[in-house]
Amino acid sequence: MSVEAAIPEGYVKVFSKPKALSDAKYTYCPGCHHGIITRLVAEAIDELGILERTVGISPVGCAVFLDRFFNCDFVQAAHGRACAVATGIKRARPDLVVFTYQGDGDLAAIGAAETVHAANRGENITVIFVNNGVYGMTGGEMAPTTLPGQRTTTTPLGREPRLHGYPLKISEMLAQLEGPAYITRQAVFDYRHIVRAKQAILKAFRNQLEGKGFSLVEILSTCPTNWRMTPVEAGRWVAEHVVKVYPLGDLKDVG
Amino acid sequence: MPKGIVVVDKERCKGCGLCIEACPFGVLGFSSEYNSSGYRVVYMEHPDKCTGCAICANVCPDVALEVYRQEPTKEAA
């Protein structure tokens, strides 16, 4: 690379793109936290050295093109059915490492049933749940996870809980079940939280390698495009408002 | 000689500005350059202040940054 030639002697590379990611450019909007989360998953795959035996399940939503970004195998599941597809692959080939990467429209809305039952069965899979509170890809409609009062294209006056329901707290729901091994909620709005989220993702993958069972990492994300904010404002909004409705931390950990 | 160097992949950068906000030393800024997608890319506005901490690369959603750090010299060690 011509870029590397310009680096003077005596310097060592301290950060570069993980090997699990391909050279394809992301299709996410500028400043979307999806990109950080995708990279953290790739870094976890690199660190555990499992690239050759990892199969990802991509959802319907903004992350639908994940197969282009990753160098591992991928299956694109029907809307919401990622956990069901992951169940089938993991049961047929227990030697593979299977993870799903889903948004809130996919996992919490149309795929709520598949997710709850996969968790209840304690399937030995890893689930990455990206929660940004809107249907990002289709134009910013209200999702089950939208905050009370939050404006979306289908709730232009703000979400009214008595009319539109309350935010669906998937992680709290699943933590009540006996099946799951690890349920946690993280965020990636600053460096400190990115480091914690990375540790949580690593733990979720290690749980699968050790056969502990269903692990879900919910990560609060931004959607600057549909929230009508700059990426920096959107990050601050997560830090100030979203974490009050969705508190961060481990909700279930069987160790 | 700065302690760190940030290399921007101009075609991957989408000009979101999260790295500019996250840098503790105010090293990065928007350049006057645009890439082929029409995004205004970032560059090292104050390269002498860079310590090579790589916080910018960690918050970059598009994996557009590579960070190099100066190896400690023998005298310093």
Q: Tell if the CB–CB gap between B18 and A16 is shorter than 8 Å.
A: no
- Structure confidence at residue A33 (pLDDT): 97
CB B65 within 8 A of CB B43: no
What is the distance in angstroms between the Cα of A165 and the nearest Cα belonging to chain B? 32
pLDDT, tens digit, 9 for 90 and up, residues A153-186: 999 999 999 999 999 999 999 999 999 999 999 9
Q: Tell if the CB–CB gap between B17 and A14 is shorter than 8 Å.
A: no
Compare CB distances from A232 to B18, B54, B61 and report the shortest one's residue: B18
Amino acid occupying residue A227:
W
Question: Domain for residue A19, yes or no?
Answer: no
Question: Domain for residue A56, yes or no?
Answer: yes
Question: Domain for residue B20, yes or no?
Answer: yes
Question: Domain for residue B37, yes or no?
Answer: yes
What is the distance in angstroms between the Cα of B65 and the nearest Cα belonging to chain A? 7
pLDDT, tens digit, 9 for 90 and up, residues A78-119: 999 999 999 999 999 999 999 999 999 999 999 999 999 999
Question: Domain for residue B11, yes or no?
Answer: yes
pLDDT, tens digit, 9 for 90 and up, residues A10-24: 899 999 999 999 999
pLDDT at B76 over 70: no
Where residue A154 sits, what CATH number does that domain have?
3.40.50.970
Question: Domain for residue A171, yes or no?
Answer: yes
pLDDT, tens digit, 9 for 90 and up, residues A111-150: 999 999 999 999 999 999 999 999 999 999 999 999 999 9
pLDDT, tens digit, 9 for 90 and up, residues A192-235: 999 999 999 999 999 999 999 999 999 999 999 999 999 999 99
Mean pLDDT of chain A: 95
pLDDT at A2 over 50: no
Question: Domain for residue A86, yes or no?
Answer: yes
- The Cα–Cα gap between B39 and B15 comes to 6
Q: Tell if the CB–CB gap between B69 and A11 is shorter than 8 Å.
A: yes
**Closest to B16 (Cα-Cα) out of A26, A148, A247:** A26
CA-based nearest residue in chain B for residue A32: B61
Where residue B21 sits, what CATH number does that domain have?
3.30.70.20
Number of domains in chain B: 1
**Helix (H), strand (E) at residue B19:** helix B18-22
What is the ipTM, given to two decimal places?
Answer: 0.92
CA distances from A81 to A70, A141, A196, B4 (A): 20, 21, 28, 45
Task: Please give the residue range of the domain that contains residue A47.
Answer: 29-253
Task: Please give the residue range of the domain that contains residue B12.
Answer: 4-69
When pLDDT is averaged across residues A18-39 and rounded to a whole number, the result is: 96
Question: Domain for residue B74, yes or no?
Answer: no
pLDDT, tens digit, 9 for 90 and up, residues B13-54: 999 999 999 999 999 999 999 999 999 999 999 999 999 999
Percent of chain A, pLDDT > 90?
96
Q: How many residue contacts between A and B have a Cβ separation below 8 Å?
A: 95
Number of domains in chain A: 1
What is the distance in angstroms between the Cα of B13 and the nearest Cα belonging to chain A? 9
- The Cα–Cα gap between B42 and B34 comes to 9
Question: Domain for residue A200, yes or no?
Answer: yes
Question: Domain for residue B55, yes or no?
Answer: yes
